[in-house]
Chain A
């Protein structure tokens, strides 16, 4: 038993900080203009500047991949400097480079709902080898129109997007197992499944009877990374929030937090907050895969898209999948269990030893830590408290290891440093709390600004965390930066966790809303980074590999321009014979074989974005001229000293005009 004094002492910093925040808000309210952050210097290490300074020309120690949330992209930052290195488009069209606009990449955004050029990207997850991040691929979820994407970390390009059937709000996603055997994706919304690949047209009053959730098991090709939806488990109609894979002894298991076990279909804010306990679902994925392989899986019709970028042609192709296999927990004993967890839990995080399952219940006063070994005993001893849809529910005490007392307010997520410590983000009390896995006591607190969501330690969700830095991702910034109107940046804060006490090092604004992030030692990724594409290996059907092969041909009302770009001209750069209403396809091949020499292409009036062509690649811009005249086109990426001269003209004549197709560069060429 801890004395009352210790309890108060430990809770005091949080209480004081809450007061300080409230005070700050009052002062802000009184001042005439926006001032600087009220608690700017709190906890900032005296040598912070030195600790994060990466001299010009020097490289960062880590790559950090922060999701962009509602921008559907991911941002790549260097750590510890916090320098933004790249924005990678995934589920959202990207005018900057033509992703989702040009003819090659459009198919990446195809879904069963048609072309969906946006999504809400929450969770990046690095691929793994032996439970450690290996720097090959980055998986990410599309929350709104359920999709899982794969980014190739040799090119930092999205190479695959697969739609998830029988899912709605693909939030609980994507969680790779130790060797990427599976990437696992759970649905946030349960929906009434029509068992034909769609949702049924039923009254919301029928929620309790008709709505179901699904957990998808996506098989990953060990060499190429290609994804394939192997099977799904149809689960009770709860909301599935977050997941985490087991480690070591628990590595055959994956755990999911659930809420709305009340199965409320409306005003979930209240309706889903009535039960004191919701559940942590434990699924033995190895057993599930075995059941699926042994014929326990049934098949139902489905309709979902699978889009893949071809490595050699750089063209994305969509295939439509028409069936999906599913397992029902009631048919598969031992595959799934439910652990009662405090009201509406959010994060579930398994510590590096694989023994502790930490559930951050955002409305709970403590952080419960469950024990994997106790869970094994409970299975053996059948310490159950009833069942739901044939899924046994454990007795809370039979699997509980301990509760972290008074951790703070609104615990959301926990990561680990590999040195016996856990770090939990507190949304409401806006702080990072460090506690010990040995005695479950809080040992340190660090205020963050404001309302932290996820936190991330490089490898902090794997067997082998790299406990040097922690990144807190904050939802609210208010007075932290120069004001930019009503819409403000979110922020990331870098905290040094190498010592006993956490030290605040850096604070930087982020792109859109980073939910979760991953980070990896730069040396695991940088050496594989492609400098340019080998022109000789370019298999695009409309690529031209030398200027002499450039051409303009008419096929009905389609005019195909096979164009080359090289410093500092395009071939051809004078084109005639196009007519109003033609579909002009500019297939532009960048002939460069040099590092960092992309060329861009844009034509006046085109109803699409430019397209940016990497050296050795071919990209296509579609243009339908609506009026006669002469239209300039040009290179949009400052490629060379004569970049401004890298331009040309295309003449558009009225429909039925006798002007023949002709094209040239410098000297006139004969008509084609």
Chain B
């Protein structure tokens, strides 16, 4: 691996840091009474909203249909995930320093698996919140569940929900892309080395 491959690999590792600076995912709600919209922001280590009161407002609206209130404390993932991300960042930097092409591939594959598990976990949560409704809820619509979309938009009673990855996820995407490029571009360096050996 050439020096610039190592630098790229470093950047790939560091770009995961975006997860601590920006939310991974955003759920946007819009209703006739909420022309200004209501946003829930899912971070690697917290759940927040576009305003300080946003989560309380989500919970107020959700309690009518019997959805369990959302609190950051209810998600063990929010405590574990930051360590996983830090692990990937440190591992990525080590891989860059070692300059081992196979390790780059392993790192990328592991990161992709990690991301996929994260998305699957997120989907399960959405499902759990959307379907596990209090039977004593004031508003009950027969057959209706309130699973927000994982990606894209969906109408839930008076709300139009839109779910999209946010800048934090871009960090993972960037990491995968850059590390993938390092793996791809560095294939020649290995070949050249082998060729040299052959010539000697």
**A53 interface residue (CB < 8 Å to B):** no
Number of chain B residues close to chain A: CB under 8 A: 10
* Complex Cα spacing A593 to B52, Å: 8
**B194 interface residue (CB < 8 Å to A):** no
Provide the A556-585 mask, 1 if CB < 8 A to any CB of B, else 0: 000000000011100000000000000000
Provide the B104-141 mask, 1 if CB < 8 A to any CB of A, else 0: 00000000000000000000000000000000001100
Task: Tell me the A630-672 residues at the B interface (CB within 8 Å).
Answer: 641-642, 645
- Report chain B residues within 8 Å CB of A568: 64
A594 touches B64 (CB 8 A): no
Q: Which of B36, B60, B138 gathers most chain A CB within 10 Å?
A: B60
B36 touches A566 (CB 8 A): no
B36 touches A595 (CB 8 A): yes
**A592 interface residue (CB < 8 Å to B):** yes
- Report chain A residues within 8 Å CB of B51: 593
- Report chain A residues within 8 Å CB of B60: 566-567, 592, 594
Q: Which of A534, A567, A593, A642 gathers most chain B CB within 10 Å?
A: A593
A642 touches B57 (CB 8 A): no
A594 touches B57 (CB 8 A): yes
B53 touches A594 (CB 8 A): yes
- Contact residues of A: prevailing secondary structure: loop
- Report chain B residues within 8 Å CB of A645: 138
- Report chain A residues within 8 Å CB of B57: 593-594
Residue of A nearest to B33 (CB): A596
B64 touches A641 (CB 8 A): yes
Minimum distance in angstroms from A517 CB to a CB of chain B: 30
- Report chain A residues within 8 Å CB of B36: 595
* Complex Cα spacing A57 to B51, Å: 23
Provide the B133-177 mask, 1 if CB < 8 A to any CB of A, else 0: 000001100000000000000000000000000000000000000
Number of chain A residues close to chain B: CB under 8 A: 13
Minimum distance in angstroms from A571 CB to a CB of chain B: 14
B64 touches A593 (CB 8 A): no
- Report chain B residues within 8 Å CB of A593: 51-53, 56-57
Task: Tell me the B50-106 residues at the A interface (CB within 8 Å).
Answer: 51-53, 56-57, 60, 64
Residue of A nearest to B60 (CB): A567
Minimum distance in angstroms from B40 CB to a CB of chain A: 14
- Report chain B residues within 8 Å CB of A591: 56
* Complex Cα spacing A534 to B53, Å: 9
* Complex Cα spacing A532 to B139, Å: 28
Please judge, given known A-B contacts A593-B57, A594-B57, whether A642 and B138 are in contact too, CB under 8 Å: yes
- Report chain B residues within 8 Å CB of A641: 64, 139
- Report chain B residues within 8 Å CB of A594: 53, 56-57, 60
Minimum distance in angstroms from A256 CB to a CB of chain B: 48
- Report chain A residues within 8 Å CB of B64: 568, 641-642
Q: Which of A591, A592, A594 gathers most chain B CB within 10 Å?
A: A594
- Report chain A residues within 8 Å CB of B138: 642, 645
* Complex Cα spacing A567 to B60, Å: 7
* Complex Cα spacing A594 to B51, Å: 9
* Complex Cα spacing A591 to B60, Å: 11
Residue of A nearest to B57 (CB): A594
Q: List 5 A-B contacts (CB under 8 A).
A: A592-B53, A592-B60, A593-B52, A594-B57, A595-B36
Residues on B close to A: CB < 8 A? 36, 51-53, 56-57, 60, 64, 138-139
Residues on A close to B: CB < 8 A? 532, 534, 566-568, 591-595, 641-642, 645
- The 5 A-B residue pairs with the shortest CB-CB distance in the complex, in nearest-first order: A593-B53, A594-B57, A567-B60, A594-B53, A593-B56
Other than A593-B56, A641-B139, give 6 A-B pairs with Cβ distance below 8 A: A567-B60, A592-B53, A592-B56, A594-B60, A641-B64, A645-B138
